[in-house]
Chains A and B, each alone.
Chain A
Amino acid sequence: DAKTTQPTSMDCAEGRAANLPCNHSTISGNEYVYWYRQIHSQGPQYIIHGLKNNETNEMASLIITEDRKSSTLILPHATLRDTAVYYCIVSPNYGGSQGNLIFGKGTKLSVKP
């Protein structure tokens, strides 16, 4: 069973920030928060991950609450090409047991002109 809860769908205006929430209230101390996205007919694409601190890379920012029970993925200036399903995943990170990425249903983000 997925350990995360995300809204089914969201809309965002082109050029505006897209803020995608995720609840992971049962997250354990050694579990990371990962975000992936899947554009139609393509494989999922890794975006960002974090443990405790906020993270930023060239694609997005990840804000994790202090109690780690929720997080928000921020796309600072959404474009039409950011239209995709966004998956929030929590997973342990140890050795060879990385085969436990459980993809839930994700959030369908539609960026509109």
Chain B
Amino acid sequence: DVKVTQSSRYLVKRTGEKVFLECVQDMDHENMFWYRQDPGLGLRLIYFSYDVKMKEKGDIPEGYSVSREKKERFSLILESASTNQTSMYLCASSLTGFSYGYTFGSGTRLTVV
């Protein structure tokens, strides 16, 4: 069964810490995405990548960066965590060039205190 795996299900970090959220997919997908989901706001796209070492800003990139050194791994980095980054973070991947659906991970619930 194809999978998108997020390294942590729950995470608690302190304000100002540097936080790494890891996502790995085993489907050889070109595209990978990071979303955050907040009550009343739905899913919002933070960053996406359509190839190794490539990245594109989504709708809310401020305060985040990403890294894609290998095709299967897409990392989201919070350079200096703040309380307003407390959220559910969802990683997804997809193939390119045809209308395949996105496969999502189970999410990481991050709390910044």
Contact = CB atoms under 8 A, between A and B. Distances in A.
Interface of A: 2, 32, 34, 36, 41-47, 49, 51, 93, 95-106
A51 B99 CA distance: 9
Given A34-B101, A99-B56, A105 B33 contact: no
Given A43-B107, A44-B90, A99 B31 contact: yes
B97 A99 contact: no
Interface residues of B, number: 28
B51 to A, nearest CB: 7
Contacts, number: 66
A49 B105 CA distance: 20
B56 A43 contact: no
Given A43-B90, A96-B31, A104-B42, A32 B102 contact: no
Interface centre among A34, A46, A98, A105 (most CB of B within 10 A): A98
Interface of B: 4, 30-31, 33, 35, 42-43, 45, 48, 50-51, 54, 56, 58, 90, 92, 94, 96-99, 101-107
A43 B101 contact: no
Given A96-B31, A98-B31, A45 B104 contact: yes
A43 B5 CA distance: 11
Contacts of A93: 98-99
22 contacts: A34-B99, A41-B107, A43-B90, A43-B107, A44-B90, A44-B104, A45-B104, A51-B99, A93-B98, A96-B51, A96-B56, A96-B96, A98-B31, A98-B48, A98-B96, A100-B45, A101-B33, A101-B45, A102-B45, A103-B43, A105-B42, A106-B42
Contacts of A46: 101-103
Contact of A43 (B51, B96, B99, B105): B105
B104 A43 contact: yes
Nearest to B103: A46
